[in-house]
């Protein structure tokens, strides 16, 4: 009898697992709407950034070309995923992508030309670093100046397009890893946990120890 109950519970768990898997496959398929819509143009590339808002560290952009039959599950806006899930997805995306590129603009460059222009610069670099020329770009909400490739800006695109979502994940993971490295050199500021964002503890450390070379001077005027 106990064995029967155990088996029944196992069957119920397996049923729920399969239902969740089926729902995720359906959600993932729904993320390919834009890719399918623009497939006739040729190679479709998703572009997104991470780190426009922090007080410290670079802004990082990702560009990803996925195969049309991509079956990677759980891709989403990187902010909606846990750090663990992003880290799990990163190597899968890098392995299965037709091409992937990263671009970066330093804090100094951000101060020099402003965060929006620096973001565009990082995006252009990410597209260049693909090593493959896309025919159309799906961007998260922006139109990148200085690019001759056709562009489709999609508001909240990282949650609507599998390519943009993948780009947001590789950009976020790349930037987070970099901020963790900075934390080992500059432990007072808590970069491993705050990733350069203006948390209360980060602002207090900024006031106590002053800015570092990776702080954006144009972002910290109100604190130092």
Q: Is residue 173 part of a domain?
A: yes
Which domain range does residue 158 map to?
32-177
Residue 65 lies inside a defined structural domain of this protein: yes
| Position 216 in a domain | no
Specify if 44 maps to a domain: yes
Can you spell out the DSSP letters for the chain? Answer: -HHHHHHHHHHHHHHHHHHHHHHHHHHHHHTTHHHHHTGGGS-EEEEEEE-SS-SBS-EEEEEEE--TT----S---GGGS-HHHHHHHHHHHHHH-SEEEEEEE-HHHHHHH-HHHHHHHHHHHHHHTTSS--SEEEEES---TT--SEEEEETTGGGT-HHHHHHHHHHHHHHHHHHHHHHHH-GGG-HHHHTT---HHHHHHHHHH---TTB-TTT-TTT-
pLDDT in tens, 42-100: 999 999 999 999 999 999 999 999 999 999 999 999 999 999 999 999 999 999 999 99
Nearest-angstrom CA–CA distance, 204 and 189: 9
Is 211 part of a structural domain of the chain?
no
- CATH number, domain containing residue 103: 3.30.420.10
**Spatial contact of 45 and 66, defined as CB atoms under 8 Å apart:** no
Is 204 contained in some domain? Answer: no
What pLDDT score was predicted for residue 4? 60
Is 154 within a domain? yes
Q: How confident is the model at residue 10 (pLDDT cuts 50, 70, 90)?
A: confident
pLDDT digits (tens, 9 = 90+) for 119-135: 999 999 999 999 999 99
| Confidence (pTM) | 0.94
Interval 174-193: pLDDT, tens:
999 999 999 999 999 999 99
Structure letter (DSSP) for residue 73: -
Q: Is residue 14 assigned to a domain? A: no
Split into its structural domains, the chain has a count of 1
């Amino acid at each position: 009898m106990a064995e029967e109950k155990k088996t029944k519970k196992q069957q119920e768990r397996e049923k729920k697992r399969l239902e969740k898997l089926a729902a995720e496959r359906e959600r993932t398929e729904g993320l390919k709407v834009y890719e399918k819509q623009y497939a006739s143009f040729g190679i479709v590339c998703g572009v997104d950034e991470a780190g426009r808002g922090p007080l410290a560290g670079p802004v990082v952009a990702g560009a990803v070309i996925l195969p049309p039959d991509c079956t990677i599950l759980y891709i989403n806006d990187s902010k909606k995923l846990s750090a663990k899930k992003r880290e799990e997805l990163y190597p899968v995306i890098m392995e299965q992508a037709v091409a992937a590129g990263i671009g970066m603009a330093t804090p100094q460059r951000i101060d020099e030309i402003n965060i929006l222009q620096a973001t565009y610069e990082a995006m252009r670099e990410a597209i260049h670093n693909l090593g493959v020329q896309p025919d159309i770009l799906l961007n998260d909400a922006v139109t990148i100046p200085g690019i001759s490739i056709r562009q489709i800006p999609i508001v909240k695109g990282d949650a609507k397009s599998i390519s943009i979502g993948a780009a947001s994940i590789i950009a976020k993971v790349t930037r987070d890893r970099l901020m963790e490295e900075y934390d080992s050199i500059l432990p007072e500021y808590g970069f491993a946990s705050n990733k350069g964002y203006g948390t209360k503890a980060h602002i207090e450390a900024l006031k106590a120890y002053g800015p570092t070379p990776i702080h954006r001077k144009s972002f910290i005027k109100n604190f130092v």
